[in-house]
């Protein structure tokens, strides 16, 4: 009963936090996928020292916590004369970190393609772009979508860390409410449920996306 | 400054090891629930996994940080931090172990059963070694994840590497030096855990316990 009263009183104040979390997660995911693809393309271009640099970048970000990159950008950028709002700093950190993971996921998808297929595409007279669009992309999507979905869910959960640099998203919302109202757990239970809701939405979206890209035999495929 | 950061790294390592050890134990206790024929227990397992994996670690940490004192259980930040890591990692470990068991081929199970082993011997001689073989690589991944995740505890004022770096930044404004060294220390720890995991894997393979790599 106490919980329900609490929910009635403070429930609506979560909406702005929910909006921010969704917004940050959405744009950071888009940015991370773009950045991950760029990293992969750089890596596939095949120059040795460039490869090493990208590999070092990926390893570095995979073996250090996100919170550290968030602090690095938030506290470090003003020192070199770049003053950005906290949301942008945090979002950039999420993009840099998750881009590293996503480039690895996509690389796994590209590596799973048999090299013979590239010869086949060439013999069919497909251009570089045509090969990418008709041969590589459909297979990579099917192969990588489940892991990509997981990564986006991890990113969504990591947006909660932006509360450490006082971005007004869901977790910050709950923290403030707890301190204002003195309620011990209600605020965080509500937030946990809201995160679960977002995770379920993402899972359903990933599943329907997979269904949409899964290969169906079509005679006019080429 | 380096001393402070090294000390922080030590606390990070202690927290991660404690969290991984307790989380593995809890995970091992949870895994069988996922296989039981008793409906409510299996439902409990799935609900627990869903809740723990679907919410951010920070939310769980804050819940416990503010919730424990309200239940008159205040044992200091390190106990709270270990509890947080234990609960969080147990869900991941339980799923890793469950995945390991599910990856066992049906024929292996059937031939094991046809030997007429007692249930416990069946578990010990057939299921455990085969599941271990599949579960070890993802298990190591979760361990690396836990080293990184322990940094989140700095937000609930558990003093470890990330909080040490933050304190140094607040006092000296040496942002790049402090965070650079901290990142290096995290890298060494995570990379170390990863390498250690691979060595264990190779060692077990040589003893014929884990079989060929999958």
Domain ranges of chain B: 2-206
What's the pLDDT band for B112 if we cut at 50, 70, 90? confident
Return the pLDDT at B131.
87
Q: Cβ of B55 and A157 within 8 Å?
A: yes
CATH ID of B2-206, from 1.10.1200.10, 3.30.470.20, 1.10.3720.10, 1.10.340.30:
1.10.3720.10
Within 8 A of B183 by CB-CB distance, chain A residues are 60, 64, 68, 72
Nearest-Å Rg of the Cα atoms of chain B is 20
Selected residues 71-130 of chain B with any CB under 8 Å from a CB in chain A: none
Average pLDDT over residues B29-38: 90
d(CA A215, CA A149): 18
Count the helices and strands in chain A (H runs, E runs): 10, 0
Average pLDDT over residues B77-96: 94
Partner residue opposite B70 with nearest CB, options A64, A185, A195: A185
Interface residue B69 vs chain A (CB under 8 A): yes
Query: Which architecture characterizes domain A2-213 according to CATH?
Result: Orthogonal Bundle (1.10)
Within 8 A of B166 by CB-CB distance, chain A residues are 71
What's the pLDDT band for A82 if we cut at 50, 70, 90? confident
CB proximity list for A68: less than 8 A, separation 6 or greater: B151, B162, B165, B179, B182, B183, B186
Structure tokens of A107?
Answer: 């690389």
Average pLDDT over residues B153-177: 92
Average pLDDT over residues A168-181: 87
Q: Assess whether pLDDT exceeds 90 at residue B173.
A: no
d(CA B146, CA A158): 14
Give the helix, strand, coil percentages of chain A, each rounded to 5. Answer: 85, 0, 15
What's the pLDDT band for A177 if we cut at 50, 70, 90? confident
- For chain B, the first-to-last Cα distance in angstroms comes to 44
Interface residue B144 vs chain A (CB under 8 A): yes
Within 8 A of A62 by CB-CB distance, chain B residues are 190
d(CA B84, CA B57): 8
Within 8 A of A105 by CB-CB distance, chain B residues are none
Within 8 A of B187 by CB-CB distance, chain A residues are 59-60, 63-64
d(CA B49, CA B46): 5
d(CA B172, CA B74): 32
d(CA A69, CA A97): 8
Q: What is the DSSP letter of A113?
A: S
Return the pLDDT at B214.
42
Average pLDDT of the residues of chain B: 89
Q: Cβ of A188 and B182 within 8 Å?
A: no
CA nearest to A60 within chain B: B187
């Amino acid at each position: 009963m106490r919980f329900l009263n609490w929910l009635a009183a403070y429930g609506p104040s979560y909406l702005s936090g929910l909006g921010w979390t969704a917004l940050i997660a959405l744009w950071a995911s888009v940015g991370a996928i773009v950045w991950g693809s760029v990293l992969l393309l750089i890596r596939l271009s095949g120059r040795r020292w460039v490869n090493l640099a990208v590999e070092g970048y990926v390893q570095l970000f995979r073996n250090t916590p996100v919170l550290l990159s968030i602090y690095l950008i938030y506290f470090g950028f003003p020192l070199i004369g770049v003053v950005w709002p906290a949301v942008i700093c945090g979002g950039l950190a999420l993009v840099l970190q998750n881009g590293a993971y996503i480039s690895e996921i996509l690389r796994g998808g590209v590596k799973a393609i048999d090299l013979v297929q590239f010869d086949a595409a060439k013999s069919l007279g497909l251009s570089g772009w045509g090969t990418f669009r008709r041969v590589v992309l459909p297979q990579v999507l099917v192969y990588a979508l489940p892991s990509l979905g997981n990564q986006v869910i991890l990113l969504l959960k990591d947006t909660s860390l932006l509360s450490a640099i006082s971005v007004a998203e869901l977790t910050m919302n709950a923290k403030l409410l707890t301190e204002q109202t003195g309620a011990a757990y209600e605020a965080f239970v509500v937030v946990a449920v809201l995160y679960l809701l977002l995770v379920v939405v993402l899972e359903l979206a990933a599943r329907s996306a997979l269904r949409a890209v899964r290969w169906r035999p079509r005679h006019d495929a080429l | 400054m380096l001393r402070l950061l090294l000390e922080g790294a030590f606390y990070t390592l202690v927290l991660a090891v404690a969290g991984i050890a307790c989380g593995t134990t809890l995970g091992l206790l949870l895994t069988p629930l996922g296989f039981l024929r008793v409906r409510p227990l299996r439902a409990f397992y799935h609900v627990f996994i869903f809740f723990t994996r679907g919410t951010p670690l920070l939310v769980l940490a804050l819940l416990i940080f503010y919730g424990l004192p309200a239940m008159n259980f205040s044992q200091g930040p390190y106990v709270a931090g270990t509890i947080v890591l234990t609960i969080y990692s147990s869900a991941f470990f339980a799923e890793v172990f469950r995945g390991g068991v599910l990856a066992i081929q049906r024929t292996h199970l059937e031939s094991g059963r046809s030997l007429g082993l007692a249930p416990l011997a069946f578990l010990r001689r057939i299921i455990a070694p085969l599941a271990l073989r599949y579960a070890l690589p993802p298990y190591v991944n979760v361990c690396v994840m836990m080293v990184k995740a322990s940094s989140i505890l700095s937000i609930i004022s558990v003093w470890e590497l990330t909080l040490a770096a933050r304190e140094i930044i607040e006092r000296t404004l040496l942002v790049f030096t402090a965070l650079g060294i901290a990142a290096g220390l995290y890298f060494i720890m995570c990379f170390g855990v990863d390498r250690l995991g691979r060595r264990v894997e190779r060692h077990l393979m040589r003893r014929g316990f884990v079989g060929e790599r999958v």
